[in-house]
Structure 1
Amino acid sequence: MIFAGKQPNNLGVNNGKLAPCPNSPNCVSSQSFDAVHTIAPLTFTSTPEQALTKLKNVVESLPRTKIITQSHDYLYAEFKSALMGFVDDVEFYLDRNANVIQVRSASRLGQSDLGVNRQRIETIRTKLKEV
């Protein structure tokens, strides 16, 4: 795929934090504080384990999605765009201290994503409430 790009080497959780967003506007993160990149974390009322299982099921139900890594408190998936095959890296970190799921969704290539990463997280948030 021409537009897949390379998987970033800064993915994962480091001291309770997901990687910061780059300066480009094609990334959202619940651990960012600037207006361009910030998005609310995912909340849940079930046990953390149930929340992560529900999250995995929702992510797997979305088109052109591949779960790459999963652990007891982390989920990483690649989302591929339909037309050009652009890849977005989407991470979820179960923050047991705050009792939320921190999120980060970022495009590998380009500058603007036309709001796709933000919309994806909001779609996941909506679907989690439906389950």
Structure 2
Amino acid sequence: MIFAGKRPNNLGVKDGKLAPCPPSPNCVCSQASDSLHQIAPLSFTSTPEQALSQLKSIIISLPRTKIIAETEFYLYAEFKTALMGFVDDVEFHLDRNSSIIHVRSASRLGYGDLGLNRQRIEKIRALFNQSN
């Protein structure tokens, strides 16, 4: 794909944290402290295993999505836009002690995203809360 870009090499969890967002407005992260990038994590009342399994089912059900990496506390998926095939990198990090799942959604290319990354996480949150 012409607009796919290269997969970032700074993804994953380091010291309990997802990668920080770049200064551009095309990224949201539940571990960010600034209002431009900050978004609430997902919270759950089920077991951590059930929560991650449910989240994975939701991601698989969404169009143009591919799970790239998965562990017992981490999920990384690529989401492709319908029209131009732009790729967004979306990560989820399970915090067992707090019963939350931290989220990060970032566009690979470009500067702005018209709020798409935030909308995606809120859609996933709505689906997750329905089933949780």
- Normalised TM-score (structure 2): 0.98
Question: C-alpha separation between the residues in 1 aligned to 2:97 and 2:24?
Answer: 30
Q: CA deviation at 1:125?
A: 0.3
**Unaligned residue ranges in structure 1 (runs of 5+):** none
Q: CA deviation at 1:30?
A: 0.1
Question: C-alpha separation between the residues in 2 aligned to 1:125 and 1:2?
Answer: 30
Are 1:45 and 2:14 matched, yes or no? no
Q: 4+ runs of 1 displaced by more than 2 Å?
A: none
Counting aligned pairs with the same residue, the percent is: 71
Measured on the aligned residues, the alpha-carbon RMSD in Å equals: 0.5
What secondary structure, in the 3-state scheme, does the structure 2 residue paired with 1:75 have?
Answer: strand
Q: CA deviation at 1:99?
A: 1.8
Match of 1:77 in 2: 77
Q: CA deviation at 1:47?
A: 0.4
Q: CA deviation at 1:98?
A: 2.0
Letter of the 1:130 counterpart: Q
Q: String of CA shifts for 1:84-113, please: whole Å, max 9, x gaps.
A: 000000000001232200000000000000
Question: C-alpha separation between the residues in 1 aligned to 2:34 and 2:97?
Answer: 23
Question: C-alpha separation between the residues in 2 aligned to 1:6 and 1:56?
Answer: 23
Match of 2:17 in 1: 17
Question: C-alpha separation between the residues in 1 aligned to 2:93 and 2:99?
Answer: 11
Match of 1:101 in 2: 101
**Residues 107 and 117, structure 2, Cα contact 8 Å, conserved in 1:** yes
Are 1:114 and 2:114 matched, yes or no? yes
Q: CA deviation at 1:129?
A: 1.5
Question: C-alpha separation between the residues in 1 aligned to 2:54 and 2:110?
Answer: 31
Q: How many residues align?
A: 131
**Unaligned residue ranges in structure 2 (runs of 5+):** none
Question: C-alpha separation between the residues in 1 aligned to 2:114 and 2:122?
Answer: 14
Question: C-alpha separation between the residues in 2 aligned to 1:85 and 1:124?
Answer: 20
